[in-house]
Structure 1
Amino acid sequence: MTRAALINGRTIAAEMHTRIKAEADALTAKGWAPRLVSVSVGDTAAADIYVRNQKRNAEAAGVAFEERRFDEKISLEQLTGVLAGLNADPRVNGIIIQRPLPAHIPVKALQKAVHPLKDVEGMHPSSIGNIVYNDLALGPCTAVAAVEILKTLPLKLEGLDVTVIGHSEIVGKPIAFLLMGLGATVTVCHHMTRSVAMHSRAADAVFVAVGKPGLVTGDMLKPGAALIDIGINRVETLDGPRTVGDADMESCAEVAGWLTPVPGGVGPVTVAVLMQNAVAATRMQMEHYANAYMAEGA
C-alpha cells in the first residue's frame, strides 16, 4: 500500500521567503525598511525558541527584528501605553505579542491595542472580521499558512469537500472562512459535534487544530484525502519528550494521500506568513502615509 506523501513545509516556506525578501528589498530602497518589534512579558523561556525562530526568519527575509522584554509585574495599562507608542512610531511596521502572558494580562486586550495596520499576527478583531469579506490584507498567520499548504496540492479547491476539526477564533474559524472564499464546501467540527469521524471520512481534505495528540486516526479519513495537522503537543515517549500533532501519523499515513508532518509542516509556513504580513503591513503604511501627507495638487 502506498503511504501518504509528506508535505514539506520548509520547502514551501523557503519559496515564500525568496519572494518576501525581494519585496522587502524593494520597500527598503524606497526608505521603508520593514521592521518588527517583539513584545514579551515575564518569564520568556517558553517563548524564547519562537522568538529566536522569528528573528532568524526575519533576518533571512530582509525584515529587521527587535526584541522588547518587560517585567512580569508590568500593568495592563502600562503595557497598553507601550503598544500605543509602538503604534505611533513610523519606524515600527509590525508588532508581535509573544505568548504566554502573565495571568493579569489578557491577550485579547493587547491584540485589540495593536493598530490594525501593524497587526502582523492577524489577531486584531478587525483582521479576523475582514476574512468574512474575503479581505486577506493581514490574515491570522496559522490559518493562512494551513490554507496556503492546501493550495500547493493538485486539488481543485472549487467544490472541494473540507472538514475543519476545531473552531477557535484564530485558527479553525478563519480557516473555514478562507476556504469558503476559495469555493470549498466546509464542515466545522467541535466538542459538541456528534460524530467527527462521520464528517472527516466524507472530506477530500481535513484540517485539525485542537491540541489533542492522536485525535485523528486513519479510520477517520477518506482514502487519498489531504490531512493538514496544525496541532503542536509535547508528549513523553520511551525515547524522551517529542513534539507531535493532533493526528496519529502511523495510521493516517496508511490512508491519506498527503499529510503535514509535525514538526516541519504548518510551523515553517506560519513563520513565512508572519514575514509576508510584515512586508504587506509596511507597504500599507507607506501608502497610508503617502495618501495622508501628499501635498494638494501633487
Structure 2
Amino acid sequence: MAHILDGKLLSAQVLEEVAREVEILKAERGVVPALAVILVGDDPASQVYVRNKAKRATEVGMLSIEYRFDADTSQEKLNKLILELNRDPTVHGILVQLPLPSHLSEDEVIAAIAPGKDVDGFHPQNVGALASGQPALVPCTPQGCMIMLQEVYEDLRGKSAVVVGRSNIVGKPMAMLLLQANCTVTIVHSHTVGIEEICRRADIVVAAVGRAGLVKSDWIKPGATVIDVGINEVYEEGRRKLRGDVDFQNVEPIAGAITPVPGGVGPMTIACLLLNTLKVAKEKSAFMKRNGLATEAM
C-alpha cells in the first residue's frame, strides 16, 4: 500500500515554522506581516477559502485584511483598491480570490497587483522569472506539491515526472519547478496522444485537470509517487463528496506514495500562501534595515 502524504500534517509543520519566523520579525523589527484578501461576489467555495486563509493567517500572527465587494462591482473600483494596496507600505501580500464574476477581467486584475506583493505568484513578471530560473514569488499550489515531493525524495534529480494539465495556475508552474529540481518533465493534456503510456513511465505523476477519477490504476507505474491536485464535487449515493483527479481507491495499492483528497494538496496551498507573505515581509524588512529606513514605514 502507498504511503499517504498527509497534507494536514505537513501544512501544520510549515505553519509552525511561519509562526516562529513571524514572532522573530515582530520582536526584532516591529514588523507584522499583513495579507490583504479581496473577495468579489458570493461564491460559496470562495467564501470558504477566504475564511480559511484569514483563520490561518491570524493563527500564525499575521494581520489579515479582508475586502468584500458585491458581484456587480466594476473593474475600475477593483483596480483602484489594488492600486491603493500596492502603495500601502503596511500591506505585504495582496490576493484577489478567483474566480471573478464574468464581467471582470482576471488577467487585468492579476497584472494590476504589484509583482512584489503578488503572493499568489500569478503576475506575468513572477511567471517569467520562474520560467527563466530567477527568484520569484511561486504559485502556492505547485510550491506545496514540491514540499510534499521532498517528503518522498531526498533528491529529485533525474526523476521522470509527468504533469497532467497545462493551466497557468498549476500545470505550467509545476513543470517549471520540477525542471528546476532537475527532473525530466513531460506535460500532457487533452490533445496528447497516448497519455496512459506516458504516465506509466513516470516516477512522479501530478494530476491537475479538474476531472474526477481521470487517472486510473493502469496509468501508474508500481511505486510511483502520485500528487493529486484536483478537487471535484461529485454526488455518490445522493451525497455530495470531494474527489480528486486520481482514482484513489484503485491507484493507492499500486503507488509508492499518494496524496488524498481532501486532506492532501489543499492544506499546503494556504500554508504556502502565508509562506510567500512572510517572504515578502522579511525581504522588505531587510531592505529597510540595509538602507537605514524606519520600520514604522512598513
* Fold in common (TM above 0.5): yes
Change (3 A) 1:14 1:46: closer
**What secondary structure does 2:46 align onto?**
helix
Question: Number of aligned pairs?
Answer: 293
Counterparts of 1:80-229 in structure 2, within 5 Å, are 80-154=79-153, 156-229=155-228
Match of 1:126, SS state, is helix
Write the distance in 1 (CA, Å) between the matches of 2:37 and 2:99.
13
Deviations 1:96-131 (A, max 9, x none): 111231111111111111111111111111111111
Residue correspondence of structure 1 range 27-42 to structure 2 within 5 A: 27-29=25-27, 30-42=29-41
Q: Contact conserved, 1:46 with 1:100, CA < 8 A, in 2?
A: no
* Helix, strand or coil at the partner of 2:64: strand
Other structure's SS at 1:256 match: coil
**Equivalent in the alignment of 1:234:** 233
Runs of 4+ aligned residues of structure 1 deviating over 3 Å after TM superposition are 287-295
Residue 293 of structure 1 and its aligned partner are, at CA, apart by 6.7
Q: Which consecutive residues of structure 2, in runs of 5 or more, have no partner in the other structure? A: none
Q: 178-187 or 55-64: which moved more?
A: 55-64
Q: Which piece of structure 1 moves more, 129-138 or 108-117? A: 129-138
Residue identity over aligned pairs, in percent, reads: 38
Where does structure 1 lack aligned partners over 5 or more consecutive residues? none
Task: Provide the rounded CA distance (Å) in 2 between the counterparts of 1:85 and 1:11.
Answer: 37
Q: Which of 3, 12, 15 does residue 13 from structure 2 map onto?
A: 15
Question: What TM-score do the two structures reach when normalised by structure 1?
Answer: 0.94
Q: CA deviation at 1:57?
A: 1.1
CA distance in 2, matches of 1:285, 1:76: 29
- Correspondence for 1:286: 285
SS in 2 for 1:37: strand
SS of 1:100's equivalent in the other structure is coil
Q: Which range moves more in the overlay, 80-89 or 92-101? A: 92-101
- 15-24 or 220-229: which moved more? 15-24
2:2 matched to which residue of 1?
4
Whole-Å separation in 1 of the counterparts to 2:254 and 2:83: 50
> In the aligned structure 2, how far is the partner of 1:248 from the partner of 1:136?
36
Residue 59 and residue 281 in structure 1: after superposition, are their counterparts in 2 closer, same or farther (change >3 A)? Answer: same
Q: Does 1:74 align with 2:73?
A: yes
Instruction: List per-residue Cα deviations over 1:120-168 (Å, max 9, x = no partner).
Output: 1111111111112333541000111111111110353000011111011
User: Secondary structure at the residue paired with 2:148?
Assistant: helix
Distance 1:146 1:276 in 2: 14
Question: Could you tell me which amino acid in structure 2 is paired with residue 7 of structure 1?
Answer: L
